[in-house]
Amino acid sequence: MPTTQLPNTASLRPDFIWGVSTSSFQIEGATQEDGRGLSVWDVHCQTGEIKNHDTGDVACDHYHRYREDVGLMKTLGVQAYRFSIAWPRVLPSGSGSANEAGLSFYDRLIDELLAAGIEPWLCLYHWDLPQALEDRGGWLNRESATWFAGYASLIAARFGDRVKRFATLNEPSMFSLFSRSLGTRDGSSEDKLHRMIHHVNLAHGAAVDVLRANVIGASIGCIHNRQPCRPSSASEADAAAAARLDVYWNEAFPEPQYRGDYPPSMRAAIEPHMRPGDLARICRPLDWFGLNHYSPVYVKARADSLLGYDFGDKPANVALTPIGWPIEPDAFSRTLQDVHARYGLPIYVLENGYGDSGQPDQTGAVIDPGRIEFLKAYISAMNEAASKGVDVRGYFVWSLLDNFEWDSGYSIRFGLTYVDYASLQRTPKSSFGWYAGLIKAMQR
Ligand code: FCB
């Protein structure tokens, strides 16, 4: 491959880690097998609200095809793989007795990764809360921190001999702001949101302590979705709505976790849910900042909605991906600089990627130049941030495979690998070959 097609990586560290990310509910399938309990997402899929009435029942069938998927990673040449454990697969009721069959699936996966020379990065929670815990109030129940610590201790005891990289939560701001547990957006939902934010933060802190105490050499962080929230017009109301959302989206979790307090503008709202000592319970020493970044968010004011905002028009001059997400690599570089300035820890980019609905051509090949251009531009932007002193140490593409994209079901594809959901056959896209070429070039 001509090197002109590769991004500028001159400022990245020699030991920079290249990886791919996935999550349990989005790829595993086998939702009713080997004693797995229900998750909130299984139940949500039954409401019929997911595009095309898709469910996670089969997904990519990774539960049965994990060997083939690790083989794909080996071909890619990635040094690391970020995945999540399905909490209800290992603790069907969320707490109490563990499910040996579920645990042994992850044993097999981890062993396969290690045998392939790929470092497992284990995320405890990527949104598939056990429904049994939701029935007990879920994250609105302060007990959730204790449940989560219990789950973390099971994972630490079982996998801590082989896994050293742990993330507590994936994108707490996303699963809180868009949680169905807040109910209809009535007058009480903002109070519920504040309660949930605080409990999720407590759960994070409790899990960090458990991992630190039980895994020798653990390297721990939390994964935050960080995208600048910008007003979609010049109006003052839109500017105020964007500024308010920015605090919830980008600061409500990292500020207490990494710097010990809530942003001043939301502190009074959190106060009723706090007990003495809580901030110290949340702010535990961490090793790195996990960053998921896609694109800026454009916001308009909307009085009758949670936090008074809605998504607004994107600027006419901004290029969009096929699923309508802005392509703004400069915002990625600035976000990296901002995270570095604020938190000072090593940064791992644990998600970045491009969604489309690309299909195979007549020859069966999946040619996706848009994804290659996107990744190239974003990796160059990351390199630019590194050239300005940002301590960025790894980059993980979302995602290894096309998968279940939440409310969009299987209609949106983020994979480097195409998945034919009828046959479950995997076909590496042209971006897969491109990413493999980049990783190879970096190792020379
Ligand atoms: C992130 C999620 C991930 C995936 C990508 C496209 O917000 O963490 O599961 O859906 O977006």
Chain-centroid distance, C-alpha 427: 24
Does 174 contact ligand 1 (Cβ within 6 A)?
Answer: yes
What distance in Å separates the CA atoms of residue 334 and residue 382, rounded to the nearest whole number?
A: 9
249, 295, 398, 412, best to mutate for ligand 1 pocket (most atoms within 8 Å of CB): 398
Ligand 1 nearest-atom number relative to CA 355: 6
What distance in Å separates the CA atoms of residue 267 and residue 261, rounded to the nearest whole number?
A: 8
CATH number for the domain whose boundaries are 3-442: 3.20.20.80
Does 225 contact ligand 1 (Cβ within 6 A)?
Answer: yes
Chain-centroid distance, C-alpha 138: 20
Does 181 contact ligand 1 (Cβ within 6 A)?
Answer: no
Beta-carbon contacts of 213 under 8 Å, excluding residues fewer than 6 positions away, are none
Query: Which candidate, 287, 148, 133, places its Cα nearest to that of 205?
Result: 148
CA of 114 to the centre of ligand 1 (A): 25
Q: Is 64 helix (H, G, I), strand (E, B) or coil?
A: helix
Interval 294-319: pLDDT, tens: 999 999 999 999 999 999 999 999 99
Ligand 1 nearest-atom number relative to CA 414: 6
pLDDT for residue 184 = 73
CA of 161 to the centre of ligand 1 (A): 29
Domain boundary assignment for the chain: 3-442
Blockwise average pLDDT, block size 10, the chain, 444 residues: 78 98 99 98 96 98 99 98 99 98 99 99 98 98 98 99 99 96 83 97 99 98 98 98 98 98 98 98 98 98 95 97 98 98 98 98 98 98 98 99 98 99 98 98 87
What distance in Å separates the CA atoms of residue 262 and residue 9, rounded to the nearest whole number?
A: 36
CA of 57 to the centre of ligand 1 (A): 19
**Residues catalogued as catalytic:** 171, 351
- DSSP code per residue over 79-93: SEEEEE--HHHHSTT
pLDDT for residue 344 = 98
Give the mean pLDDT of the chain.
97
Ligand 1 nearest-atom number relative to CA 26: 9
Does 171 contact ligand 1 (Cβ within 6 A)?
Answer: yes
CA of 352 to the centre of ligand 1 (A): 9
What distance in Å separates the CA atoms of residue 150 and residue 323, rounded to the nearest whole number?
A: 39
CA of 406 to the centre of ligand 1 (A): 8
Does 414 contact ligand 1 (Cβ within 6 A)?
Answer: yes
Does 406 contact ligand 1 (Cβ within 6 A)?
Answer: yes
Does 170 contact ligand 1 (Cβ within 6 A)?
Answer: yes
H helices of 166-260, in order, are: 172-177, 189-214, 236-250, 254
Ligand 1 nearest-atom number relative to CA 171: 8
Does 295 contact ligand 1 (Cβ within 6 A)?
Answer: no
Interval 84-141: pLDDT, tens: 999 999 999 999 999 999 999 999 999 999 999 999 999 999 999 999 999 999 999 9
Ligand 1 nearest-atom number relative to CA 170: 8
Q: Rg for the chain (alpha carbons), in Å?
A: 21
Ligand 1 nearest-atom number relative to CA 174: 7
Does 398 contact ligand 1 (Cβ within 6 A)?
Answer: yes
Burial readout 265-292 (b: 16 or more C-beta within 10 A, e: otherwise): ebeebbeebeeeebbebbbbebebbbbb
27, 83, 297, 406, best to mutate for ligand 1 pocket (most atoms within 8 Å of CB): 406
CA of 126 to the centre of ligand 1 (A): 9
CA of 323 to the centre of ligand 1 (A): 13
